[in-house]
Amino acid sequence: MRVIVSSTRPHPRPTPPASAAAGAGPVTIRPAQIGDLSSSAHLHLDALPVGLFPQLGYRFLRRWHHSFLDHPYAVAFVAVDADRNVLGFLLGTLDHRTHLSHMVRDRQTMASLAVHGIIALVARPQLAARFLRTRALPWCNAAKELFLGCPRDVRTTTSPPRPPADPVAVLAAVAVDPARRGRGIGAELTAGFEAAATQFGTPTAELATHVDTADSASSTSHGFYERLGWTPTRTYLDRDGRRMQVYRRSLGVAAQDGTELT
């Protein structure tokens, strides 16, 4: 498997050493392009259907994947074979807090996501009802702050401001074609994300994955992350009542010459 981690982001990306997928033809890990989005969105629906965004459908997912191409603190990778078929994808942020701040100021992206989301909800009344019950208020507050320029209420306090927290890279989504699993593609995609976050200078990476002891796929994904060196830290219930497991991984610090210090 050939791994290429390069893009036009604010910081240079490393190029991890080449590797080979076991028992298969050549597979390349590279930054995603607009032409990959249709395949990655369909793969997301097929291989990673859990959560609100997949339930909003293909068009919304495609626009969400596109947002990772447009913003400087995000990365999107795909795994492709010699015929350029997308076998897997990964979406992540290199500094999650800064990425969100940058994204909400991009009115074009936010408006596009909102339009696609509203269209999807109108076509799915049951999902719309759940959305109104669990997410409408915080999302409306965020939209008010963004489009009307109305800051959220800030309580007066005499306490000194807290120092800013260290940046955290977040692995938002990773999936591999079920027919191509077991070849190391998911591990190479994750390694590419870790290398990009390390080169960016982020000290820690984090992800959250669904916990379902009755689901063998869920158990497999947890073992996958632990084998790659990710450590389970805490669990929580999301807005839909699903139990989520948070994983963290300490990253090396990239030196000025591109080598990795630990």
Contacts of 42 (CB under 8 A, 6+ apart): 58
Closest CA relative to residue 130, chosen from 115, 43, 139, 62: 139
> Between 125-134 and 107-122, two packed helices, what is the crossing angle to 10 degrees?
130
Predicted confidence pLDDT, tens digits, the chain (262 residues): 544 444 334 444 444 434 444 445 789 999 999 999 999 999 999 999 988 999 999 999 999 999 999 789 999 999 999 999 999 999 999 999 999 999 888 989 999 999 999 999 999 999 999 888 887 766 666 555 555 555 444 444 455 555 567 899 999 999 999 999 989 999 999 999 999 999 999 999 999 998 875 655 555 577 899 999 999 999 999 888 899 999 999 997 654 455 555 4
pTM > 0.85: no
Structural class in CATH, domain 2-149+167-261: alpha beta
Could you say which DSSP state residue 27 is in?
E
The residues facing 30 across adjacent strands are: 78
Closest CA relative to residue 176, chosen from 34, 92, 78: 78
Q: Domain limits of the chain?
A: 2-149+167-261
Helices (H), the chain: 37-47, 52-55, 58-70, 96-104, 107-122, 125-134, 136-147, 185-200, 216-227
